[in-house]
């Protein structure tokens, strides 16, 4: 029987969906929309971007095929005839072994997520079973298989298997006790040895997360063929050319554009082609810093220097991936060399550094930023651009330096405040232009349920726990 309206129903297997399709009949036969992206996704079917259609024609009643869990998603339907469909969850997790069965005729279709075993038995002769998949078949593809006669799952085949038509291969599949569950798709962290990359290692841990340093994935090389991308669900792009001043040189300019813009574009193409989520880390440098107030995500970009220009280009490229989070942040502090460690070392030496006092912003500690990225992925927040920094009253770099000096037991007044122009005039090497105002609005990330930590409190914690002990040497 055909449905008058398209409906989609859940099943006991997470992600396995049954769709009732309107079938339009007249004296000539019938017509249906077997896959209509706009309508199907609006009804709740994932936009799984199919790339291949297969048709299995079956002469006889009782032809039984399966159980195959394949490394892609499927949209299963019938073009002629009728089948008894059976699905077994073979994915790692609490639903492993869950069974669902139903009949399929022209008026029904089933969305089968990756890792769910699929099988069917024909109930009419001359049955044409058809399915769309979102990856191209390859001889190197890895399948997880289950025997159709497995006693544990106990599929109630309408035609006894003793009278069914089965292939020798299908009869030789293992029992459930011998099946290795299908692991979930992985998260790939690119730029895994940087400040944020190391923080993501601590926050995300191991398991199904893979970490790629520059030598593991070169963003200036052939990214589309660098990985079996259907094995991943998310790419976190924490890789960047961050030498802001060197980006203004001839050599640095080329490197910045290749990594920050072209590299981001390559990852966005991969994400779009394979329906992956792309998390792209951006910067306050995409703005000119002239705004009176906080920068919202909707503010137009207007970068001042090469580094900011390449990051803005990377943002535009990342936004071409349908599933994207662009995370704009500022003044990132992680482990390894950073401004706070430099100021702490100068304080202990009794130095009097000149520090700019007309650039305002909030510190973003790498671990806090990593927790925010994890929150976006775990909460299912709407895709788009998010500002993520510490919260609280903004500071200038000179004010930050004074806090470090005080924590080191040195006189904060030893920090000499200067303007950006004064600092540049006496610098030993050319300096890139920097935004005077790097304060980013946090309203949107708060709307997802994430509350950024006050950056002054985070600074105090960092100074107390991360920097070496010892007081300043006498001047």
Report whether pLDDT(474) > 60: no
Report whether pLDDT(62) > 90: yes
Report whether pLDDT(218) > 90: no
pLDDT of residue 222: 86
CA–CA separation, 267 and 114 (whole Å): 22
The DSSP line for 28-63 is TEEEE-S--HHHHHHHT-------EEEEEEE-STTB
Rg (CA), the chain: 29
Report whether pLDDT(468) > 80: no
DSSP state of 272: H
Residue 438 has, within 13 A of its CA and on its CB side, a CA count of 30
Cβ-based neighbours of 459, under 8 Å, separated by 6 or more: 340, 363, 400, 403
What digits encode the pLDDT tens for the residues 239-256? 999 999 999 999 999 999
What digits encode the pLDDT tens for the residues 267-287? 999 999 888 999 999 999 999
Split at pLDDT 50, 70, 90, the class of 136 is: confident
Catalytic residue, candidates 129, 131, 325, 423: 131
What is the mean predicted confidence (pLDDT) over 175-189?
A: 96
pLDDT of residue 470: 46
Residue 299 has, within 13 A of its CA and on its CB side, a CA count of 24
Catalytic residue at 68? yes
pLDDT of residue 280: 98
SS3 of residue 170 by DSSP:
helix
pLDDT of residue 372: 98
What digits encode the pLDDT tens for the residues 306-365? 999 999 999 999 999 999 999 999 999 998 889 999 999 999 999 999 999 999 999 999
**Going along 105-164, which residue ranges are E strands?**
108-112, 116-122, 127-133, 144-145
Write down the mean pLDDT value for the chain: 94
Report whether pLDDT(467) > 80: no
Catalytic residue at 136? no
pLDDT of residue 471: 47
Q: Are the C-beta atoms of residues 401 and 217 closer than 8 Å to each other? A: no
Percent of the chain with pLDDT over 90: 87
SS3 of residue 453 by DSSP:
coil
pLDDT of residue 400: 98
Report whether pLDDT(397) > 70: yes
Catalytic residue, candidates 68, 208, 214, 383: 68
Residue ranges of domains in the chain, CATH in brackets: 7-178 (2.60.120.10), 186-465 (3.40.50.720)
Split at pLDDT 50, 70, 90, the class of 102 is: very high
What is the mean predicted confidence (pLDDT) over 1-10?
A: 81
Cβ-based neighbours of 251, under 8 Å, separated by 6 or more: none
Report whether pLDDT(475) > 50: no
pLDDT of residue 472: 45
According to DSSP, the residues that pair with 190 across neighbouring strands are: 212, 237
CB-based burial label for 103 (10 Å; 0-12, 13-18, 19+):
middle
What is the mean predicted confidence (pLDDT) over 367-393?
A: 97
CA–CA separation, 271 and 149 (whole Å): 39
Q: Are the C-beta atoms of residues 81 and 127 closer than 8 Å to each other? A: yes
Which of the residue ranges 2-11, 99-108, 405-414 would you say has the lowest mean pLDDT? 2-11
């Amino acid at each position: 029987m055909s449905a008058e309206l398209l409906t989609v129903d859940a099943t006991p297997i997470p992600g396995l969906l049954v769709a009732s399709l309107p079938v339009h009949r007249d004296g000539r036969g019938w017509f249906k929309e077997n896959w209509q992206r706009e309508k199907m996704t609006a009804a709740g079917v994932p936009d799984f971007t199919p790339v291949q259609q297969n048709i299995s024609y079956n002469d006889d009643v009782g032809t039984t095929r399966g159980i195959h869990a394949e490394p892609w998603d499927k949209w299963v339907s019938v073009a002629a005839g009728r089948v008894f469909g059976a699905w077994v969850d073979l994915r790692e997790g609490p639903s492993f072994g869950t069974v669902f069965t139903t009949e399929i005729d022209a008026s029904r279709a089933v969305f089968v997520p990756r890792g769910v075993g699929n099988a069917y038995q024909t109930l009419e002769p001359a049955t044409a079973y058809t399915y769309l998949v979102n990856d191209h078949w390859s001889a190197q593809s890895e399948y997880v298989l289950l025997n159709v006669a497995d006693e544990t799952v106990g599929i109630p085949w309408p035609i006894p298997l003793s009278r069914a038509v089965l292939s020798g291969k299908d009869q030789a599949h293992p029992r459930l006790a011998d099946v290795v569950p299908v692991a979930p798709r992985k998260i790939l962290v690119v730029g895994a040895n940087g400040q944020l990359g190391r923080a993501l290692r601590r926050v995300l841990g191991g398991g199904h997360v893979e970490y790629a340093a520059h030598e593991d994935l070169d963003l200036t090389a052939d990214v589309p063929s660098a990985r079996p991308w259907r094995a991943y669900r998310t790419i976190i792009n924490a890789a960047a050319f961050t030498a802001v001043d060197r980006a203004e040189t001839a050599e640095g300019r080329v490197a910045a554009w290749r990594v920050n813009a072209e590299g981001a574009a390559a990852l966005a193409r991969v994400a779009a082609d394979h329906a992956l989520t792309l998390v792209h880390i951006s910067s306050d440098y995409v703005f000119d810093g002239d705004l009176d107030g906080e920068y919202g995500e909707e503010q137009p970009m207007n970068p001042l220097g090469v580094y900011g220009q390449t990051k803005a280009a990377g943002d535009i490229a990342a936004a071409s991936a349908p599933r994207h989070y662009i995370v704009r942040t500022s003044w990132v502090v992680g482990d390894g060399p950073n401004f706070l460690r430099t100021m702490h070392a100068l304080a202990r030496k009794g130095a009097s550094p000149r520090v700019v006092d007309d650039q305002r912003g909030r510190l973003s500690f790498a671990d806090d930023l990593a927790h925010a990225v994890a929150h976006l992925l775990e909460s299912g927040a709407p895709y788009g651009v998010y500002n993520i920094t510490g919260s609280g009253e903004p500071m200038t770099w000179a004010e930050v330096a004074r806090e470090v000096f005080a924590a080191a037991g040195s006189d904060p007044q030893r920090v000499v405040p200067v303007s950006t122009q004064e600092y540049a005039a006496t610098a030993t090497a050319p300096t890139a232009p920097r935004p005077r105002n790097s304060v980013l609005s946090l309203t949107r990330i708060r709307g997802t349920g994430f509350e950024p930590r006050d950056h002054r409190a985070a600074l105090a914690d960092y100074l107390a726990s991360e920097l070496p002990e010892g007081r300043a040497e006498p001047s």
